[in-house]
């Protein structure tokens, strides 16, 4: 067994690898950019080697510097995690040449599956069902238009070296194909240093289901069942689960058999994943093989009880798999949600800054698990993926796993940056999700106009307004009784007007110790809670149901987050509410003449100049943020007056980029 492993990665996955290595009594080294010198992974590892400035291209993608770190520390093995150099053939070869073991598949297997064109051809020869398409490189936009027309729209442009949802675009007509060809090539070149593209037929309303593999150096290949990864946004996975609520045993067995056949065909060793597209009739087609550990591997770990990182290490050390296919058992259901630093209300724009508060839900063995690479006070940087944590829950059945996920998301307290926790809660509480009616179009179908957490059902609104009234009652009771035994009023009554948006409700709160009765119109709600001012989570029993609600604010204005709802409520005495009705309203500032940067990022290009007339829908600028290109378009016809930024500028949120006449 290895004595020292170098982790060639950062963040959550670096911490994950270090934890398993520590449990195996293996020392660890982590490489770090200057931005990550004091990161959680750096604090957890036994040694830290700084390898360059924050941009990944100048640090985590620098093979020579990582090889120098291997030699300087005497590490006898390297785990690449996922992303960065994890599927880089040259890196795997360089590690071996340096005298260390690469904890992953052999370089030829990485090369065979890393080129998506060659991988698809090889899969076909191995008897794996593949998506119809043009498997050769597309050399020009004109060729792309011709091939797409032959296949029939919609089609998908894909990077030959792609992965992780980058370097791919769905196009539905000729104009989209021409525009997407250039953009996809740029993104592929930036992400993979390889701008080759190919085209596949796009399967309408597909599910994305993948098979987890393990293969050792003694010829054994097994699969650990499937993961449903259909809930995606812009080809990036958002929520994953195992097993899939859609597959039957026959389809599961067939997919597993084909995945194992592909692994044998390429001489695979280590953990790997074969991804499939599955249509509504359970026909499945090979998408790609990821020759690394997947972000969503914890759901498989929770249902099988296996540590995939440990098994990768043991396989790399030459050990045989300790079980056969017949001995693998999956128990219960697991769901994973990816917590990102992004603002769902503003089109999921990246949110960067310092985590002034980071309090994840309490972990419960076998039920709730949190994998993270940050701690309170850490900075979410614009240089890397905006993942804050992965939340994974397990239950005897799917409903239990969903209920635990919903509760745990409500208990995630993240401040300083905006997170997508409320959006994730809205997804897992959605009736269609509960029914298991998933596809990669789920988010686009259910939130066509974007996500609005203040649009809630009448029952949710009634519950949250009642909770706000109780919170304010407790807070004002404390203020009244400062200097005496506080919060001990018996049979006290308070009347409040609770306002949110255009809604205004009169609430009468009757209190007896920690029990409350809240009357709203002709409805009365019973609530008991031990909440006290200063607590960030409001645990209560409402009409017999235990709930947890996240709280921010105070002094009469409270932001409450629960089950996908996020409301700011103002609580006023009735007389104050009446006076406010008489106050004039202040008009919002007019920004209609400006194109504002919707996110922090790099201004890659400007498509206009002063004096140019634009039409609604025309491309104005391209901003790169968190390794993704974002195209900004004109909302209406107009004429450019002034450019307030130039190509190459680093932009902040709401910075003026273009002014119109």
Residue given tokens 């404390």 in the structure block: 478
Query: Domains in the chain and their CATH numbers?
Result: 4-103 (3.40.50.20), 132-201 (3.30.1490.20), 207-446 (3.30.470.20), 458-580 (3.30.700.30), 594-660 (2.40.50.100)
pLDDT given for residue 349 in this prediction: 82
First and final C-alpha spacing in the chain: 69
pLDDT given for residue 479 in this prediction: 63
Average pLDDT rounded to a whole number, residues 335-346: 94
pLDDT given for residue 487 in this prediction: 42
Residue given tokens 């790169």 in the structure block: 624
Whether residue 488 has pLDDT greater than 70? no
More confident residue, 476 or 516: 516
pLDDT class of 472 with cuts at 50, 70, 90 = very high
**Residue 196 in tokens:** 């080759």
Task: Note the pTM of the prediction, 2 decimals.
Answer: 0.84
pLDDT given for residue 49 in this prediction: 98
d(CA 325, CA 418): 43
Average pLDDT rounded to a whole number, residues 149-171: 86
Residue 524 CA to its chain's centroid (Å): 39
d(CA 406, CA 563): 6
Whether residue 519 has pLDDT greater than 60? yes
Report yes or no: 202 and 156 within 8 Å, Cβ to Cβ: yes
Whether residue 267 has pLDDT greater than 80? yes
Cα pseudo-dihedral 238, 239, 244, 246, rounded to 10: -70
pLDDT given for residue 208 in this prediction: 96
pLDDT class of 458 with cuts at 50, 70, 90 = confident
When mean pLDDT is compared across 119-133, 323-337, 390-404, the lowest value belongs to 119-133
pLDDT given for residue 383 in this prediction: 87
Annotate 455-494 with b (16+ C-beta within 10 A) or e (fewer): ebeeebbbbbbbbbbbbbbbbbbeeeeeeeeebebeeeeb
Active site residue 288: yes
Whether residue 530 has pLDDT greater than 90? yes
What beta strand segments (E) does 85-235 contain? Answer: 101-102, 133-138, 155-163, 166-171, 197-201, 207-215, 221-233
d(CA 446, CA 444): 6
d(CA 129, CA 124): 6
Whether residue 622 has pLDDT greater than 60? yes
Whether residue 483 has pLDDT greater than 70? no
H or E stretch at 492? strand 490-500
Q: Is the peptide bond preceding residue 124 cis, with omega within 30 degrees of 0?
A: no
pLDDT class of 486 with cuts at 50, 70, 90 = very low
When mean pLDDT is compared across 3-7, 88-92, 531-535, 582-586, the lowest value belongs to 582-586
Whether residue 489 has pLDDT greater than 50? no
When mean pLDDT is compared across 322-331, 336-345, 358-367, 505-514, the lowest value belongs to 505-514
Whether residue 484 has pLDDT greater than 70? no
The rounded mean pLDDT for the chain is: 92
Average pLDDT rounded to a whole number, residues 236-247: 96
d(CA 373, CA 386): 11
Give 25-42 pLDDT, tens digit per residue: 999 999 999 999 999 999
Average pLDDT rounded to a whole number, residues 521-548: 92
pLDDT given for residue 485 in this prediction: 45
Average pLDDT rounded to a whole number, residues 286-307: 97
d(CA 520, CA 527): 13
When mean pLDDT is compared across 187-191, 515-519, 536-540, the lowest value belongs to 187-191
pLDDT given for residue 491 in this prediction: 46
pLDDT given for residue 62 in this prediction: 96
pLDDT class of 399 with cuts at 50, 70, 90 = very high
Whether residue 164 has pLDDT greater than 70? no
Whether residue 442 has pLDDT greater than 90? yes
Of the chain, the percentage scoring pLDDT greater than 70 comes to: 97
Residue 327: phi, psi to the nearest 5?
Answer: -90, -5
Query: Cα angle vertex 206, ends 132, 234, to 5°?
Result: 100
Q: What is the DSSP letter of 364?
A: B
Which residue out of 187, 226, 240, 288 is catalytically annotated? 288
pLDDT class of 520 with cuts at 50, 70, 90 = confident
pLDDT class of 180 with cuts at 50, 70, 90 = very high
pLDDT given for residue 480 in this prediction: 65
Whether residue 490 has pLDDT greater than 50? no
Give a three-class secondary structure readout of 141-175: HHHHHHHHHHHCCCEEEEEEEEECCEEEEEECCHH
């Amino acid at each position: 067994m290895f004595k020292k492993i170098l982790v060639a990665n950062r963040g959550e996955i670096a911490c994950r690898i270090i934890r398993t290595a520590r449990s195996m009594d293996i020392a660890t080294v982590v490489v770090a950019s200057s931005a990550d010198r004091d990161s959680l992974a750096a604090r957890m590892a036994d040694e830290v080697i700084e390898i360059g400035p924050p941009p990944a291209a100048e640090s985590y993608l620098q093979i020579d510097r990582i090889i120098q770190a291997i030699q300087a520390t005497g590490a006898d093995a390297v785990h690449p995690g996922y992303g960065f150099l994890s599927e880089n053939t040259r890196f795997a070869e360089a590690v071996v040449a340096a005298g260390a073991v690469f904890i992953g598949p052999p370089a030829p297997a990485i090369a065979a599956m890393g080129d998506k064109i060659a991988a698809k051809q090889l899969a076909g020869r191995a008897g794996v069902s593949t998506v119809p398409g043009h498997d050769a490189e597309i050399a020009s936009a004109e060729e792309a238009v011709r091939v797409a027309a032959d296949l029939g729209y919609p089609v998908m442009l894909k990077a030959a070296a792609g992965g992780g949802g980058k370097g791919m675009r769905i196009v539905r007509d000729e104009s989209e194909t021409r525009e997407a060809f250039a953009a996809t090539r740029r993104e592929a070149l930036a992400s993979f240093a390889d701008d080759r593209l190919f085209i596949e037929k796009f399967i309408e309303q597909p599910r994305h289901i993948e098979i987890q593999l393990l293969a050792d150096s003694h010829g054994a290949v097994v699969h650990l069942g499937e993961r449903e990864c259909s809930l995606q946004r812009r080809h990036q996975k958002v929520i994953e689960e195992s097993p899939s609520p859609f597959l039957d045993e026959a389809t599961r067995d067939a997919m597993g058999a084909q995945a194992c056949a592909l692994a044998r065909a390429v001489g695979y060793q280590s953990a790997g994943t074969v991804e499939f597209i599955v249509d509504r009739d359970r026909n499945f087609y090979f998408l790609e093989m990821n020759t690394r550990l997947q972000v969503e591997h914890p759901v498989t770990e929770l249902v099988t009880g296996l540590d995939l990182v440990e098994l990768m290490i043991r396989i790399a050390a030459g050990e045989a798999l300790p079980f056969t296919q017949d001995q693998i058992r999956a128990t219960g259901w697991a769901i994973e949600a990816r917590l990102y630093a992004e603002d769902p209300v503003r089109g999921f724009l990246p949110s960067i800054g310092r985590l002034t508060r980071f309090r994840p839900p309490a972990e419960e063995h076998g039920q709730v698990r949190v994998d993270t690479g940050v701690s309170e006070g850490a900075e979410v940087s614009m240089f890397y993926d905006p993942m804050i944590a992965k939340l994974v829950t397990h239950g005897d059945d799917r409903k239990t796993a969903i209920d635990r996920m919903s509760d745990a998301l409500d208990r995630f307290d993240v401040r300083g940056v905006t997170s997508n926790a409320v959006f994730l809660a809205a997804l897992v509480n959605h009736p269609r999700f509960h029914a298991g009616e998933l596809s990669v179009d789920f988010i686009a179908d259910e939130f066509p106009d974007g996500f609005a957490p203040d649009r809630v059902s009448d029952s949710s609104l009634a519950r949250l307004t009642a909770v706000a009234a109780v919170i304010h009652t407790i807070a004002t009771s404390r203020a009244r009784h400062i200097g005496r035994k506080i919060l001990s009023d018996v049979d006290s009554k308070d009347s409040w007007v609770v306002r949110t948006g255009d809604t205004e409700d009169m609430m009468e709160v009757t209190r007896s110790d920690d029990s409350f009765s809240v009357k709203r119109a002709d409805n009365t709600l019973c609530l008991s809670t031990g909440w006290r001012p200063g607590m960030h989570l409001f645990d209560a029993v409402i009409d017999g149901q235990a709930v947890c609600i996240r709280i921010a604010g105070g002094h009469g204005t409270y932001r409450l987050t629960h089950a996908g709802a996020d409301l700011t409520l103002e609580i006023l005495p009735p007389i104050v509410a009446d006076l406010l009705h008489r106050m004039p309203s202040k008009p919002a500032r007019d920004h209609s003449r400006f194109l504002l940067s919707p996110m922090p990022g790099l201004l890659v290009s400007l498509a206009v100049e002063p004096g140019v007339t634009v039409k609604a829908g025309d491309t104005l600028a391209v901003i790169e943020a968190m390794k993704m290109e974002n195209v900004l378009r004109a909302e209406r016809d107009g004429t450019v007056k002034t450019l307030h930024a130039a190509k190459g500028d680093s932009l902040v949120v709401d910075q003026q980029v273009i002014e119109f006449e």
